[in-house]
Amino acid sequence: MTAALACSHLTVSYDGNVALNGVSLSVGSGQMIGLVGANGAGKSTLVNAVAGWSRGRPAVSGSVTLDGADISALAAHARAQHGLLLVPEGKNIFAELTVDENLGLVRAPRDVAGRHVFSIADVFNLFPRLTERRTYKGGSLSGGERQMLAVGRALLAAPRVLILDEPSAGLAPRLILDLLERIRSLVDRGLPVLLVEQNVKAALKVVDHLYLLERGRIIAGGPTTVMKSDARIVEAYLGTLAVDRA
Amino acid sequence: MNLSQQIVNGLVLGSGYACIALGWTILLGVARLVNFAHGQLYMLSAFVTWYAMTRAGAPYWAAIVIAIVVLSLLGALMQLAMTRLVIEQNLTSLMIVTLGLGYVIQGGGALIFGGNPQTLSSVLARTKVDAGALWFTWQDVLVLAMTFVLYAAVWLFVNRTRFGSVIRAVAEDPRLAQLFGINAKLVYLGVFVFECAAVALAAALVAPRAPILTSMGFNEVIMTFVVVVLGGIGSIGGALLAGLGLGMFIAFFGAFVAPAYTTAAAFGMLLLLLVVRPVGLATK
Ligand SMILES: Nc1ncnc2c1ncn2[C@@H]1O[C@H](COP(=O)(O)OP(=O)(O)O)[C@@H](O)[C@H]1O
Ligand SMILES: [Mg+2]
């Protein structure tokens, strides 16, 4: 069976400085894959390269396939139209547009074969908070509401695969797990998700499979149950006590 | 000097300024791009309209359509040449490139159309409205009406349609728009073509008022610049208000102070207003 999303030998450099070095990974259908690593490890560089997108000027080599089709040559907007939806780190909604206008920018394609279709009602069911904010400008939303809006608009595009780059950044700790669990509920309905997360403990509660990235290379990866007790994960991210409590 | 005649003159002048500035307001305000070839495009549009009427025998309305088509094509070519600068929002280079293109258009215009003043004659421009002592033509009425209609239509389009949201999204963050599946380059192309089509329509409407010259572009770009900045960069309502305000100011200044210094006075007013109210007339 082909993976929903796969990248192989992705290498990215900025002005000749290598930020990602020959990374390969795949996301199976109905799977939630976690990607963790220290600040500057190259997580965003990796998911941005997969989406063919950047705010900088990266030089990218390697290939990306989506449901078996090679999309390496497509521009970012075309990859989004093909169902590869990235919610980037940082600013990921339009501040000067209202919630409704942000959501209205996106249209599901006519041919939805192989796509996971979500209606606007699905989005409001998933994030009831957004319902009360429909006429507010994006710029006036709280951090959590912005993430909900960013995920919501990605869902409306009928994704094949959803990639989330640190959706919990700036969220209060008690909201992080709540958001991740809502996203997990989408995976349980069949949507493949690649999640970049700095809160490793929270990520381990929802993902099926975890990759650890360090200095532009994947240095460990495996099923969550195994990775939970991986020495590198425990030492760097959980601390010995944390495992006992988890 | 008749006061009500000066108000009429102000409205006539002002609606012309606003009409000519519409394309640039959208370009600058909505897509955050600049085009300092705007005045020369105005000149070219006037001459294309004139050429279509006098040399090809086209009726006025058909000449307007021809000017719009020609300028739209030219706009598309210009935008394609500038795509990289536009995506990078490199405004300094865009300013210089469009300024340069403006001079190329002016030189080309002089070569093709010659250096003599010409008259773009519209029947309406020769028919005076019967309104007692007040003097204005049906062309003036047409310009005023079209300006209000165009500004209203564009405002509704930008603020009340999905395409309008797409344009505003690209203006705010073209990179992010790509992740929403929006082809930002295509949107910029569309906005720039609109700018050129709008200037073509404005020229065909406004230019019949006075003799046209291939060297008139610079003055037009300056006045448009004043209107757009006064209006509060990007504000559609602000530009309409600023255009009308500038027209009133120039009519009164020309009538009561000194007609020779109106451009300088317009800039004086711009400076004064920017000191008092740096965001322009827009209230948002
Ligand atoms: N736009 C950019 N231009 C230049 N260097 C960048 C850019 N984005 C990231 N980098 C560099 O690439 C490396 C990886 O960054 P990033 O992918 O953002 O890491 P992470 O998301 O894991 O925190 C860092 O050394 C960072 O400085
Ligand atoms: Mg990052």
Chain B residue with minimum CA distance to A101: B165
- Cβ-based contacts of B182 with chain A (< 8 Å): 77, 105
B3-276 under CATH 1.10.3470, yes or no: yes
Residue B124 has pLDDT above 80, yes or no: no
Mean pLDDT of B233-237: 81
pLDDT at A119: 96
Closest Cβ–Cβ partner in A76, A85, A94 for B172? A94
Mean pLDDT of chain B: 89
CB A2 within 8 A of CB A29: no
For A221-235, how does the pLDDT look when each residue is reduced to its tens digit (9 = 90+)?
999 999 888 888 887
For B37-83, how does the pLDDT look when each residue is reduced to its tens digit (9 = 90+)?
999 999 999 999 999 999 999 999 999 999 999 999 999 999 999 98
In DSSP terms, A33 is beta-bridged to A194, A209
Residue A63 has pLDDT above 70, yes or no: yes
- Alpha-carbon distance values, B126 to B16, B37, B108, B150 (Å): 17, 30, 30, 24
Angle (nearest 5°) at CA B210 between B206 and B213: 100
Mean pLDDT of A53-77: 96
> At a CB cut-off of 8 Å and minimum separation 6, what does B199 contact?
B20, B23, B24, B38, B41, B42, B45, B71
pLDDT at A246: 41
In chain A, pLDDT over 90 holds for what percent of residues?
Answer: 85
* Ligand 1 pocket member A36 (CB < 6 A): no
* Ligand 1 pocket member A37 (CB < 6 A): yes
pLDDT at B284: 47
- Closest residue by Cα to atom 24, ligand 1, is A40
Band of residue A239 on the pLDDT scale cut at 50, 70, 90: low
Residue A243 has pLDDT above 60, yes or no: no
In chain B, pLDDT over 70 holds for what percent of residues?
Answer: 97
Among all bound ligands, the one having the nearest atom to the CA of A23 is 1
β-pairing, A5-14 vs A17-27, is antiparallel
* Ligand 1 pocket member A14 (CB < 6 A): yes
Asked if B166 and A92 come within 8 Å (Cβ–Cβ), the reply is no
pLDDT at A22: 96
Question: Global pTM?
Answer: 0.89
Band of residue A92 on the pLDDT scale cut at 50, 70, 90: very high
According to CATH, what is the number of the domain A5-91+159-245? Answer: 3.40.50.300
Q: Which of A74, A84, A97 is the mutation pick for testing B, counting most B CBs within 10 A?
A: A97
Mean pLDDT of B15-20: 94
Residue A140 has pLDDT above 60, yes or no: yes
* Ligand 1 pocket member A39 (CB < 6 A): yes
Asked if A88 and B176 come within 8 Å (Cβ–Cβ), the reply is yes
Mean pLDDT of A112-122: 95
For A10-58, how does the pLDDT look when each residue is reduced to its tens digit (9 = 90+)?
999 999 999 999 999 999 999 999 999 999 999 999 999 999 999 999 9
In terms of DSSP H, where are the helices of chain B? 3-25, 38-54, 60-87, 91-113, 138-160, 162-172, 174-179, 184-206, 217-231, 236-256, 262-276
Residue B1 has pLDDT above 70, yes or no: no
- Domain locations in chain A? 5-91+159-245
In chain B, pLDDT over 90 holds for what percent of residues?
Answer: 56
Residue B185 has pLDDT above 80, yes or no: yes
How close does chain A come to B186, measured CA to CA in Å? Answer: 11
pLDDT at A244: 45
